[in-house]
């Protein structure tokens, strides 16, 4: 039985005050659900992680980073290591978000190094995969998702891969207001689960959580979550408003 998972990606938004206010409202509003019925995590900007972790210390809401660097320490100006994120109390880390792939230029090989470093250092990676609009139009969705998964998970054995959460995020649906239909989401999620089954085995595939991301709102969460292979949601814009993210958290518990 896969527990639902609602994760918020704040991207480069909020400040210390608004971020702390946001998580204080979330902690209060989700106190009866978070941890028990649904895994809840927020991924604030690096510089606010520690303030957010402190503000959430009595709650069951976990905190994740939006990125990490795969080397343990050294001359990597501007980068943040897994050990640093663990040191301040992070639990999760997004890896390969489409904005990092398509705006910053991260390759599958770099994403794989980050996923591997996260697991080896005790963080739980959320590996984002998904196709561009032109790739969907030219029926390359399965090919792209296969590449992201095979390369992103390369070298991970059965035990390590279980630390990973997959997030299917069609790039054309991120921040655009366009959401994949529940049928489109289920089709790709099932494809991903079958692929995980081939890459590993059926038990592992059935245990791994696959989140959907792309313009998720309180009003479309329940219909997405009603699909057998949609185990949760990765939310950008709507995770910045307490009322909306609380609505999504509640709707993700069926």
Burial readout 132-142 (b: 16 or more C-beta within 10 A, e: otherwise): beebbeeeebe
- The catalytic position among 106, 135, 169, 189 is 169
Nearest CA to 101 out of 70, 74, 73, 129 is that of 129
Angle between helices 141-152 and 108-120 (to 10 degrees): 40
Q: Which helix (H) or strand (E) holds 24?
A: helix 16-29
Interaction between residue 234 and ligand PEP (CB under 6 A): yes
Spatial separation of the C-alpha atoms in residues 87 and 213, rounded to whole Å: 28
Stretch that binds ligand PEP, among 24-32, 84-92, 224-232, 235-243 (CB under 6 A): 235-243
Q: How far is CA 149 from CA 46, 67, 98, in A?
A: 26, 18, 14
**Helices and strands (H, E) in the chain, number of each type:** 12, 8
Interaction between residue 174 and ligand PEP (CB under 6 A): yes
Nearer CB in complex with ligand PEP: 20/129: 129
Nearest CA to 230 out of 243, 214, 242 is that of 214
Stretch that binds ligand PEP, among 22-30, 53-61, 184-192, 233-241 (CB under 6 A): 233-241
Nearer CB in complex with ligand PEP: 198/241: 241
Interaction between residue 235 and ligand PEP (CB under 6 A): yes
The 61-100 contact track toward ligand PEP, x by CB under 6 A, reads ----------------------------------------
Residues 199-228 that bind ligand PEP (CB under 6 A): 213-216
Spatial separation of the C-alpha atoms in residues 99 and 214, rounded to whole Å: 12
Minimum CB distance to ligand PEP, residue 44 (Å)? 13
| Residue 169 annotated in active site | yes
Token pair listed for 61:
């809401």
| Residue 148 annotated in active site | no
Select from 5, 6, 9, 252 the one that contacts ligand PEP (CB under 6 A). 9
- The catalytic position among 97, 99, 106, 131 is 97
State the residues that interact with ligand PEP by CB under 6 A: 9, 11, 169, 174-175, 213-216, 234-238
Q: Catalytic amino acids?
A: 97, 169
């Amino acid at each position: 039985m896969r527990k639902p998972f609602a994760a918020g990606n704040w991207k480069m938004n909020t400040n210390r005050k608004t971020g702390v206010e946001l998580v204080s409202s979330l902690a209060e509003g989700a106190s009866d659900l978070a941890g028990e019925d649904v895994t809840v995590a927020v991924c604030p900007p690096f510089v606010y992680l520690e303030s957010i972790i402190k503000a959430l210390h009595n709650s069951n809401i976990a905190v994740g980073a939006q990125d990490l660097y795969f080397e343990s320490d050294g001359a990597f100006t501007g980068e943040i290591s897994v050990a640093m994120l663990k040191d301040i109390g992070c639990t999760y880390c997004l890896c390969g978000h489409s904005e990092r792939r398509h705006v910053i230029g991260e390759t599958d090989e770099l994403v794989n190094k980050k996923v591997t470093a996260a697991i080896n250092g005790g963080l739980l990676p959320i590996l984002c995969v998904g196709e561009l609009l032109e790739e969907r139009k030219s029926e390359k969705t399965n090919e792209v998702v296969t590449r992201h998964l095979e390369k992103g998970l390369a070298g991970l054995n059965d035990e390590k891969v279980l630390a990973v959460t997959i997030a299917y995020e069609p790039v054309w649906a991120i921040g655009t207001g366009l959401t994949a239909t529940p049928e489109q989401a289920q089709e790709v999620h099932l494809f991903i689960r079958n692929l995980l089954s081939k890459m590993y085995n059926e038990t592992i595939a059935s245990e791994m959580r696959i989140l959907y991301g792309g313009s998720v709102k309180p009003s479309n969460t329940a219909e997405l979550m009603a699909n057998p292979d949609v185990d949760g949601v990765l939310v950008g814009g709507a995770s910045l408003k307490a009322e909306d993210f609380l609505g999504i958290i509640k709707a993700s518990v069926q």
